[in-house]
Structure 1
């Protein structure tokens, strides 16, 4: 466990996953008129558990020098955590051209994700400000 993990906990991973989810939702919206495009999203809870190494059935590294499942050393990135949790959305009303993007649903998901991203960012900023005050002795 490194200093960032002990100081900030899971917040940096949450920001990275929220950013990746935002990109997925934006891609869905960009392809709203593409025939046969399948809308994608992630199971955020599972992706976060994978990024944190708390997913059921996963091995926990006790040293940064231990090999990971991806063959490298160090902790797994959030992009590898998101890869296993990528899901296709099932539309409430399928379109004739096979596209599964529902723009209203995507806009709502994008706004929800943006609000949660901002809340995580504010929390992390508060932690950083607290550390600055502690370092200055205030």
Structure 2
């Protein structure tokens, strides 16, 4: 009997990729906090996850099980400019360093949570395959 990784892992591998992409964007924002004219960017995680769910549910699915599957890993969510919470400081930079650090920390914790979930699922599959013997 074949194991369906899509059924076993759900949308979590896509969530991990989106969180990784968001981490890079937030790091760019932090690195450019003092760059004049730099505009902070971010991902709408919820819409990116909805897109991953739609692809997983088969909207872009195969018409025959023998067809190759379309890789969702190579698709990147669209980054958008963040609406600033602070007024313009005169240099055109829209990065709020405190907001960026908080978002980065939260994203890192969510990334680790998703990774822990996937790890526990993999360990469960290993136990099912080996019968609990290591």
Compute the TM-score of the two structures, normalised by the length of structure 1. Answer: 0.81
1:29-84 deviations in whole A, cap 9, x for unaligned? 11111111100001100011112226xxxx8134177xxxxxxx74353553512x
Partner Cα separation in structure 1 for residue 33 and residue 63 of structure 2:
42
Paired residues, number: 124
Partner Cα separation in structure 2 for residue 89 and residue 62 of structure 1:
32
2:99 is equivalent to residue 97 of structure 1: no
2:122 is equivalent to residue 128 of structure 1: yes
Q: Which of these residues, 91, 102, 109, is aligned with residue 108 of structure 1?
A: 102
* RMSD, aligned CA: 2.1
Q: Compared with structure 1, are the counterparts of its residues 49 and 115 closer, same or farther at alpha carbon in structure 2 (3 Å cutoff)?
A: same
Moved over 6 A (4+): none
Q: Whose radius of gyration is greater, 1 or 2?
A: 2
Compute the TM-score of the two structures, normalised by the length of structure 2. Answer: 0.83
Q: Please state how far the C-alpha of 1:11 moved relative to its aligned partner.
A: 0.8
Equivalence for 1:25: 26
SS of 1:120's equivalent in the other structure is: helix
Equivalence for 2:36: 35
SS of 1:87's equivalent in the other structure is: strand
5+ unaligned residues in a row in structure 1: which ranges? 66-72
Partner Cα separation in structure 1 for residue 118 and residue 91 of structure 2:
43
SS of 1:82's equivalent in the other structure is: coil
Q: Compared with structure 1, are the counterparts of its residues 14 and 47 closer, same or farther at alpha carbon in structure 2 (3 Å cutoff)?
A: same
For the Cα contact (< 8 Å) 2:61–2:69, is it kept in 1? Answer: no
**Which aligned pairs between 1:6-85 and structure 2 lie closer than 5 A?**
6-53=7-54, 60-63=59-62, 74-75=69-70, 77-78=72-73, 80-83=75-78
